[in-house]
Structure formats: structure tokens, C-alpha cells
Amino acid sequence: MLLNIDGMKPIYVQIAEWLEIEILHGNIGCDEKVYSQYQLAEMFNINPATAAKGLSLLADENIIYKKRGLGMFVAANAKELILLKRKDQTLKQLLFGVLTEAERLGVSDEELFEMIKALRN
């Protein structure tokens, strides 16, 4: 993954999201050690403090936990927490945009449902 340095999203958030994807894809499993802030800093050529902030974000959300002296590890329910968060935040945000545009265009709910069904097939 390449970080979007010039983007609107802070780098530490991008680091947290990258780690979430790694967890969702099973590249880092439950109770496995997560990359350290220094490893992340080296991987992405960023300041270790920025990487630490991304790790802290995940720790605050109970997706990872700290073992004193050993590092950060993936929580047992990390996948479920990530999926719930992404459904609640990302999908709702996307749907809000779609519904707003549909209203502007005069597209009915039924038409939207039909469009969704057609895309799924």
C-alpha cells in the first residue's frame, strides 16, 4: 500500500486502515504481534511518532492491545470490530452520498433498489 501523503486523510489514519486491511485479509491473525511503530515507520518512510499514533488509534478502538514489554497484538474480536466499524461509518457515508444524489436526480427508492440488484448480478 502506498500512503497518500498529499491526501485529505491523515497519515496515521491511513496506517491504521492499512493494518485493519491486513487483519481482515488474515495476514495478521488473532493474538499475533502487530508491526512496531519503528517497523511501520521504516516500511512507509514516516516518522515513528506518526506510526505510533496509528497504532494508538487501533488500541483505543480495542482492535489491538498492548502486552507490556512485548508490543502490540491483534485482539480476538478484531475482525468483528473492524467490520462493524466499516459498515457503520464507511457504508453509511457512501450511502448518504448516493441518496443525496438520487434525490437531486429524482431517482426513487425502488429505482435505487433495482440498480443495486442489477449490480450484484
- The 10s digit of each residue's pLDDT in 13-68 is 999 999 999 999 999 999 999 999 999 999 999 999 999 999 999 999 999 999 99
pTM of the predicted model as reported, rounded to 2 decimal places: 0.77
CB hemisphere CA count around 34 (13 angstroms):
29
- The 10s digit of each residue's pLDDT in 80-117 is 999 999 888 888 889 999 999 999 999 999 999 999 99
From residue 121, how far is each of 31, 36, 102 by CA, in Å?
A: 37, 42, 21
Dihedral angle, C-alpha 48, 76, 30, 35, nearest 10 °: 0
